Structure formats: structure tokens, C-alpha cells
């Protein structure tokens, strides 16, 4: 799962460039901020096209104070959720190209053109990339009371009871949903998708045991794994995660190319 920062293409790359430092969610200007913008006091909007509490929202809120310190201007996170990120993304595409409105988004930015009949923006023509802010992975997790607490058990139960197991996602077409669809295809199983309007509601019901399974970004899942409120089943990374060294990858458990 890649998180990136964009602004409207017509704002022009020469006004602001960034680079990622040490793989953290930190952007440093590689070229000076324009004098006209530097003299303004109006806050810069960091539009997150998803609900609060999502992985990318966490990234944006870590990024905002560092950008404010670097450029001497307020940077405010603005959650504009809906339509798998399309509504907030459209706002940025139509924003005045003055560098005061930036988009912090994830893979759905380019995926949505294949998932929707039409999208109200062109990810190539309407935006200028600034920097990759972070690189993460999805982890398959379960509620501790779920009938299956390991990936092999989940696959065995799902094959013995097609469409008998539910899983949550923040919405149709999200990376979480598509990751589970890929798992279903690779493992030859059929689960029931329970889409929510954002991560917060899905995670609340997952923690409450109302839905048993879900894919979560590792940085969202970690606090709940460490407090034993969730159980990790597999990692979508190529190698085991340093933060979860005991957690096997999908490939280690016989599910390749996840």
C-alpha cells in the first residue's frame, strides 16, 4: 500500500518539490517555497479523501506539523470522504492551482479508474506528484473469538462452508476489499463481504466481534495486536515484518503473489 502526496498539475512542479527522508512520513522541500506563498498566513489544506482513523489519515496527521514547521505556515488535515476517495480527490482536482490544496492519498487514486465506470478526475493529467510519503503493508487479522485464528484454519473452514464466513472492509473497491478478493481467488474460497463507510466503523465492529476478519494496514493493526484485541493471521509483505517477526507471510503459508 503506497501513500502519496499530490497537488493539482497546473500548480506547477517548480513551486514545490519534496522528497521522503529515511522512509518516514516526512516531506522536505528540495526547492524554496514561493515567496508569495511563504508570505501568506492562510492554512494549506491536506485533503485526505477517506474518513478519520484510516492509515492514510494517520500519515497525514503526522505529516502536517512537520510541513508547518518546515514552511512556517499552518497545514490542516481535511477529511473529505466518499466514493472510495473520488469525492475528496475531485475537490483537489478542481481547487485553485495556488499550492494551497494538496492531496494525501493511497493506491485507490489510480485504481478507481478501473473500478468505476467514470471518475471525475484524471490521475495523470489533473495532478502533479510531489512525494511518496510512506510505504506500508496489509495484515489479515481476526477477532480473538473468531472460529478461525490462523490462515490455514480460515481456508479450511471457508472451503467446508462456502459463504459462511464474513469479513469487513472500509468500502467496496478499497485496498482492504481487493486484498480479500485476491485471497479468495488464490485460495479458492468464497466469503461474504461486509462493506462499511470507512475504516472507523469497520474496525469498531471488528473489535466488538460483530465481524470476524479484516485486512488492516499494519500501523493501524499494531496497537490492537499488542493489546491482544486482535489476532494476526498473515502479512502481505514479501518478508516478515520487523514489528511482527513471528507473523508468517501469505507466501510462507502457501498463498503466493498476495
pTM of model > 0.85: no
pLDDT recorded at residue 109: 85
CA distances from 236 to 52, 59, 179 (A): 23, 19, 9
What does the pLDDT look like over 120-142, one tens digit per residue?
Answer: 988 888 888 888 887 778 999 99
What does the pLDDT look like over 86-106, one tens digit per residue?
Answer: 999 999 888 887 778 889 988
How sure is the predictor about 28, in pLDDT bands with cuts at 50, 70 and 90?
very low
Q: How far apart are CA 203 and CA 120, in angstroms?
A: 29
Higher pLDDT, 2 or 138: 138
Q: How far apart are CA 42 and CA 147, in angstroms?
A: 52
| C-alpha 75, offset from chain centre | 20
CA distances from 42 to 99, 104, 181 (A): 11, 19, 43
Amino acid at each position: 500500500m503506497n501513500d502519496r502526496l499530490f497537488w493539482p498539475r497546473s500548480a506547477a512542479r517548480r513551486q514545490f518539490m519534496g522528497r521522503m527522508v529515511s522512509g518516514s512520513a516526512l516531506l522536505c522541500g528540495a526547492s524554496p517555497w514561493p515567496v508569495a506563498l511563504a508570505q501568506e498566513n492562510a492554512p494549506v489544506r491536506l485533503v485526505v479523501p477517506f474518513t478519520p482513523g484510516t492509515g492514510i489519515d494517520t500519515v497525514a496527521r503526522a505529516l502536517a506539523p512537520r510541513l508547518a514547521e518546515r514552511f512556517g505556515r499552518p497545514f490542516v488535515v481535511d477529511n473529505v470522504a466518499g466514493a472510495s476517495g473520488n469525492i475528496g480527490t475531485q475537490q483537489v482536482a478542481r481547487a485553485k492551482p495556488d499550492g494551497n490544496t494538496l492531496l494525501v492519498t493511497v493506491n485507490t487514486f489510480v485504481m478507481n479508474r478501473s473500478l468505476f465506470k467514470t471518475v471525475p478526475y484524471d490521475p495523470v493529467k489533473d495532478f502533479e506528484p510531489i512525494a511518496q510519503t510512506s510505504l506500508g503493508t496489509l495484515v489479515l487479522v481476526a477477532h480473538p473469538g473468531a472460529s478461525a485464528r490462523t490462515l490455514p484454519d480460515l481456508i479450511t473452514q471457508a472451503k467446508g462452508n462456502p459463504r459462511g464466513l464474513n469479513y469487513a472492509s472500509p468500502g467496496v473497491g478499497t485496498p482492504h476489499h481487493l486484498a480479500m478478493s485476491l485471497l479468495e481467488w488464490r485460495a479458492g474460497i468464497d466469503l461474504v463481504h461486509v462493506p462499511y463507510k470507512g475504516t472507523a466503523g469497520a474496525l469498531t465492529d471488528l473489535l466488538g466481534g460483530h465481524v470476524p476478519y479484516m485486512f488492516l494496514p499494519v500501523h493501524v493493526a499494531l496497537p490492537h495486536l499488542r493489546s491482544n484485541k486482535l489476532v494476526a493471521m498473515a502479512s502481505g509483505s514479501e518478508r516478515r515484518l520487523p514489528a511482527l517477526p513471528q507473523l508468517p507471510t501469505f507466501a510462507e503459508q502457501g498463498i503466493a503473489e498476495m
